[in-house]
Structure 1
């Protein structure tokens, strides 16, 4: 009987340690993501200000990043960096991964800076607030639900690939109907990914809690932060296409 009580007490201690570690891990994920969001917002706002002169015309910087071939590099560079980060995550240090993420956040800010020239500041702020509320609810669902939603992953990733292809095609077609369909599907897909990625971060930690070292945990938190950051940014951009008031 004493042996059983000892075993049960030991199991309870390990469970408590996992729960405490999970909370710390999720705080690290959300904290890193939040810092990335702040960096992106500041970079986008600052660059948009430098891109326009006092008369409302594009400055030399504005012409370079919005009206020259450089705009294509700026547009696709974040996507390239995401793939590069996924390929290099196991070879770089945790400090290197964190620096990579923050550099990516700056580049994303450069890529998104044009929204301050296209949409009113009030509509951007309103859409950001709505996105934040929706993201919090979706992420909370992914964290607390007892339902296994890992099966969503394949369909959601296929949906993202379809969105990328359709968006590239529509750059040349310029179809409002296709743009509307892309935005509608984008909101649904990244809403699903927010819940899916949150649950995946949680389950990955629980499954490897006993074997993961600190370096891996740090990199895992950064990778999780990147996934949720991308979910938030894309959800925000697709909602902005519906809710944003143009200048």
Structure 2
């Protein structure tokens, strides 16, 4: 029993320290990504396309993984989030050009924030250990990604909307899972934790944009 008590206390202290560092880095990368997206919109830069986006994303993600234990890891994180901000700019420009586009973007942004604070707050207040969610969420993400490719290549809007709804649920779960993982010592590297939360927020925001965009077009 004394061993269990000491172990629980250590995990709690270390986990909260990693979480504080993660939130600090996450806030900076989100601001940087938003700034890059704004520049991309202002300059009217074209979207790099699916293939280049995937190559850039996975290449930079590999760089983050390789440098996660050094100072270069910070630069790699900003390179990755800056690149994702650049890819977001043309998408936001497209939505901004729609009737009520600004409202769609703000609704998606606000809902993303509410979900993030809601899921994180739930885990932080209850101390839930969600380690059992990992495999289910991973399988769900793979399925949703495959379905999204099908919706894109076969041009099935209804399937695309359903996939966006799936991603909202999955990314919400991933935010809670990652927060719990950090708290309970499953993730001790704040650089990797930051990337995981950033990618979840990025995909959550894009999915909400598509949903609000469709709903807005039906009004």
Name the CA distance, whole Å, in 2 between partners of 1:16 and 1:87: 29
Say whether 1:26 aligns with 2:19.
yes
Q: Secondary structure at the match of 2:130?
A: coil
Give the gaps of 5 or more residues in structure 2: 96-100
SS at match of 2:131: coil
| Equivalence for 1:156 | 137
Rate the CA distance shift 1:173–1:15 in 2: closer, same or farther, 3 A.
closer
> Which residues in structure 2 correspond to 1:133-152 (within 5 Å)?
133-152=114-133
Q: Tell me the TM-score normalised to structure 2 length.
A: 0.83
Alignment of 1:61-76 (within 5 A): 62=45, 65-66=46-47, 70-76=48-54
Report the equivalent of 1:226. Answer: 195
Q: Does 1:191 align with 2:155?
A: no
Q: Secondary structure at the match of 1:113?
A: helix
Which secondary structure state, in structure 2, belongs to the residue aligned with residue 174 of structure 1? coil
TM-score (norm 1): 0.74
Q: Equivalent residue for 1:174?
A: 155
Note if 1:45 corresponds to 2:51. Answer: no
Deviations 1:127-168 (A, max 9, x none): 212211111110122233344321111010111111222222
1:106 matches 2:82: yes
**C-alpha distance 191-82 of structure 1, shift in aligned 2 (>3 A):** farther
Match for residue 95 of structure 1? 71
Q: CA RMSD in A?
A: 2.8
Write the distance in 1 (CA, Å) between the matches of 2:64 and 2:145. 18
Shift of 1:45: 1.3
Q: Unaligned regions of 5+ residues in structure 1, if any? A: 1-7, 52-61, 209-216
Deviations 1:84-129 (A, max 9, x none): 147525xx54211111100001100111112222222332123212
Q: Distance in 1 between matches of 2:105 and 2:193?
A: 26
Task: Please give the alpha-carbon distance, in whole angstroms, between the structure 1 residues aligned to 2:76 and 2:164.
Answer: 29
**1:202 paired to 2:183:** yes
Give the drift of 1:74.
Answer: 3.8
Question: Which segment drifts farther, 149-158 or 110-119?
Answer: 110-119
Higher CA-based Rg = 1
How many residues in Structure 1 have an aligned counterpart in Structure 2?
209
**Match for residue 212 of structure 1?**
none
**Do 1:142 and 1:194's aligned partners in 2 also have CA atoms closer than 8 Å?**
no
